[in-house]
């Protein structure tokens, strides 16, 4: 039954997508190729990436549980998985969760787990806005932004313990240090270049999914109108470049955004799924 509902959703989304095919969106042109993690750092393989993500996600879930509304969780998963299917890592174990927190935030965990808070969802007006935010988070996973930051900081975080041991020994002390470091990153934030890259590539993924490309800019405008002192946005503002700066950076993509601005917003479907 669940599977049928999901396929039906994909059916709807596929026809919307077919109507607005996007052959010309080249994501590679938008990637920061200058960034590189030092060769000396041990490569973290995909199964390890997924396991690290699971461990970090369970700590984050300890801080804020999921909203106990299966219909809402299913809806956000449908939108997120449809977007993830448009990317070059469609086969990761993607899962999306709405956290029961009044603050406005969203974050991605290595390996394909993405959380959005109830507070942010409540401020949104359409599925295109939701897609814009989820696509931004999907890019963090695709580009391994958190994983690379964990890798980069591992030497300091592990204080002498080997990364290899931390990766293999899931119950061990070294592993614990690595996961604690990975979890702390969500209060420190990523590099600004990673955030701006997630914005640039995120709007492309949302457009590929058949959504109005202005979904993410629209959410950024909502955030810009809020008071930075508001406790609901304090962490989001601390860990991300200011909304005005992010909007300014997206201005350079205006031609692309305009080309896909007439795509689906799905405000009614969003309202029906989120506000009941």
- List contacts with Zn ion (CB under 5 A): 195, 198
Q: Please report which residue ranges of 42-126 form alpha helices under DSSP H.
A: 46-63, 70-84, 118-122
Query: Residue written as tokens 């009044």?
Result: 102
Which is closer to Zn ion, CB of 236 or CB of 264? 236
Helix, strand, coil share (%) of the chain residues, nearest 5: 60, 5, 35
Distance separating alpha carbons of residues 259 and 15, to the nearest angstrom: 19
In the complex, minimum distance from the CB of residue 199 to Zn ion, in angstroms, rounded to a whole number: 8
In the complex, minimum distance from the CB of residue 148 to Zn ion, in angstroms, rounded to a whole number: 14
In the complex, minimum distance from the CB of residue 68 to Zn ion, in angstroms, rounded to a whole number: 26
Which is closer to Zn ion, CB of 76 or CB of 198? 198
In the complex, minimum distance from the CB of residue 9 to Zn ion, in angstroms, rounded to a whole number: 26
Which is closer to Zn ion, CB of 127 or CB of 195? 195
- Which class for 47: exposed (0-12), middle (13-18), buried (19 or more C-beta within 10 A)? exposed
Q: Do residues 124 and 219 make contact, with C-beta atoms less than 8 angstroms apart?
A: yes
Which is closer to Zn ion, CB of 116 or CB of 198? 198
> What distance lies between CA 272 and its chain's CA centroid?
23
Q: Do residues 216 and 133 make contact, with C-beta atoms less than 8 angstroms apart?
A: yes
Distance separating alpha carbons of residues 218 and 221, to the nearest angstrom: 5
Which is closer to Zn ion, CB of 161 or CB of 195? 195
In the complex, minimum distance from the CB of residue 170 to Zn ion, in angstroms, rounded to a whole number: 27
In the complex, minimum distance from the CB of residue 202 to Zn ion, in angstroms, rounded to a whole number: 9
Q: Do residues 53 and 113 make contact, with C-beta atoms less than 8 angstroms apart?
A: yes
In the complex, minimum distance from the CB of residue 195 to Zn ion, in angstroms, rounded to a whole number: 5
Q: Name the nearest CA neighbour of 216 among 229, 225, 203.
A: 203
Which is closer to Zn ion, CB of 198 or CB of 207? 198
Which is closer to Zn ion, CB of 14 or CB of 103? 103
Pairing of strands 106-109, 95-99: unpaired
Three-state SS string across 130-158, please? HHHHHHHHHHHHHCCHHHHHHHHHHHHHH
């Amino acid at each position: 039954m669940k599977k049928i509902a999901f396929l039906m959703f994909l059916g709807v989304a596929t026809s919307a997508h077919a109507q607005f095919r996007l052959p010309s969106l080249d994501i590679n042109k938008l990637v920061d190729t200058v960034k590189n993690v030092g060769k000396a750092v041990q490569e973290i393989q995909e199964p390890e990436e997924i396991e690290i993500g699971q461990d970090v996600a369970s700590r984050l879930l300890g801080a804020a549980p999921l909203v106990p509304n299966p219909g809402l969780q299913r809806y956000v998963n449908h939108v997120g998985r449809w977007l993830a299917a448009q990317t070059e890592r469609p086969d990761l174990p993607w899962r999306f969760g709405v956290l029961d927190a009044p603050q406005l935030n969203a974050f991605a965990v290595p390996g394909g787990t993405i959380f959005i808070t109830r507070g942010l969802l409540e401020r949104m007006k359409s599925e295109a806005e939701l897609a814009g935010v989820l696509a931004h988070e999907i890019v963090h996973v695709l580009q391994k932004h958190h994983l690379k930051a964990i890798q980069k900081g591992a030497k300091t975080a592990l204080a002498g313990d080997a990364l290899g041991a931390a990766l293999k020994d899931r119950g061990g002390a070294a592993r614990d240090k690595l996961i604690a470091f990975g979890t702390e990153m969500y209060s420190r934030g990523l590099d600004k270049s990673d955030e701006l890259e997630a914005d640039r590539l995120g709007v492309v993924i949302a457009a590929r999914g058949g959504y109005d490309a202005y979904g993410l800019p629209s959410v950024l405008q909502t955030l810009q109108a809020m008071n930075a002192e508001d406790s609901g946005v304090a962490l989001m503002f601390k860990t991300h470049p200011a909304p005005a700066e992010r909007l300014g950076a997206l201005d350079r993509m205006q031609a692309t955004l305009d080309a896909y601005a007439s795509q689906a917003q799905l405000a009614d479907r969003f309202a029906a799924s989120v506000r009941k």
